[in-house]
Amino acid sequence: MITGDIPPNQTIYIKNLNEKIKKEELKRSLYCLFSQYGRIFDVVALKTPKLRGQAWVVFSEVTAASNAVRQMQNFPFYDKPMRIQYAKSKSDCVAKEDGSFVPREKKKKQEEKAERKRRAEEAQQSSMANGTGAQSNGGTAASFRNANTQETAAPNNILFIQNLPHETTSSMLEMLFQQYPGFKEVRMIEAKPGIAFVEFEDDVQSSMAMQALQGFKITPQNPMAITFAKK
DNA sequence: AGCACA
């Protein structure tokens, strides 16, 4: 048993991740991939020698973590099968919520100063995973509404995806859609962020993927809107 | 293989 005897935890520990992927991209993609199981509080990944190739995904519910451990076990992610277990301990962001958080006493004065600075910077910069991100969805929501008023195309083998966060990449979508039989390719247009086309072998297979991923949230603000492409 | 919280 891959989870060993680690008791269930709302945080999952993932290893065998592709170490070539940059930290920020890795976190975004993990967030994208795992938000299908529930609300994600945080994604932690460090590239230090000891911690590269590993990550923690903190869910709001243990049940979400359990489903993720089971269903995403060995999922090919950036060409490597993910190995997923429950985390061995409670995440800081969870401890902070339930009041049991005690800051670790490991730092020297120099480092503390550096950390305070970092935190200040982060507050400015925003992170996607905690939902306080500053990336604007206003424009996307508007174009989504407009597009929605258009007539629907007849079922066919190409899906039209809307309301994607602008930082979505084709490889992120590939990881989501390739789970479904008949997947052929993802196409995105540089000049048109927020949308994508996903091609399948036939319209039955595209329909299956549409049903499975309809409303899938890459971020809490971005439920996917999937329709058939106009031919 | 490796369980952290930059």
Question: How far, in Å, is the CA of A219 from the C1' of nucleotide B4?
Answer: 23
How confident is the model over A170-207, as pLDDT tens digits?
999 999 999 999 999 999 999 999 999 999 999 989 99
pLDDT at A192: 96
How is A102-135 classified by DSSP, letter by letter? -------HHHHHHHHHHHHHHHHH--TTTT----
Of all nucleotides in the shown strands, which has a C1' nearest the CA of A103? Answer: B5
- Domain end, chosen from A79, A98, A117, is at A98
Looking at per-residue pLDDT, the higher value among A157 and A119 belongs to A157
Q: Report the nearest residue to nucleotide B4, CA vs C1'.
A: A44
A227 touches strand B (CB under 7 A): no
Question: How far, in Å, is the CA of A71 from the C1' of nucleotide B6?
Answer: 31
* Protein-contacted positions of strand B (CB under 7 Å): 1-6
CA–CA gap between residue A128 and residue A164 (Å, rounded): 13
Looking at the structure, tell me whether residues A94 and A18 fall in a common domain.
yes
Domain extent for A207: 158-228
- Which residues have a Cβ under 8 Å from the Cβ of A53 and sit 6 or more positions away? A15, A16, A17, A18, A19
| Whether A20 contacts A77, CB under 8 Å | no
Q: Report the nearest residue to nucleotide B5, CA vs C1'.
A: A92
For residue A28, tell me if it sits in a domain: yes
What's the mean pLDDT when you consider all of chain A? 82
- Domain end, chosen from A98, A125, A149, is at A98
A133 touches strand B (CB under 7 A): no
Looking at the structure, tell me whether residues A90 and A162 fall in a common domain.
no
For residue A135, tell me if it sits in a domain: no
What CATH number corresponds to the domain at position A221? 3.30.70.330
For residue A145, tell me if it sits in a domain: no
For residue A69, tell me if it sits in a domain: yes
How confident is the model over A92-130, as pLDDT tens digits?
999 999 999 999 875 555 555 555 555 554 444 433 333
A217 touches strand B (CB under 7 A): no
A187 forms beta bridges with A197
For residue A115, tell me if it sits in a domain: no
A86 touches strand B (CB under 7 A): yes
Number of domains, chain A: 2
Looking at the structure, tell me whether residues A87 and A166 fall in a common domain.
no
Cα-based distances in Å from A208 to A34, A75, A155, A222: 20, 19, 11, 21
For residue A6, tell me if it sits in a domain: no
Q: Is the dihedral of CA A35, A37, A38, A44 positive or negative?
A: negative
Residue count of chain A: 231
Q: Is A33 left (phi over 0), alpha (psi -120 to 50) or beta?
A: alpha
CA–CA gap between residue A205 and residue A211 (Å, rounded): 10
How confident is the model over A206-221, as pLDDT tens digits?
999 998 899 898 887 8
- Domain end, chosen from A78, A98, A118, is at A98
CA–CA gap between residue A121 and residue A127 (Å, rounded): 11
Looking at the structure, tell me whether residues A92 and A15 fall in a common domain.
yes
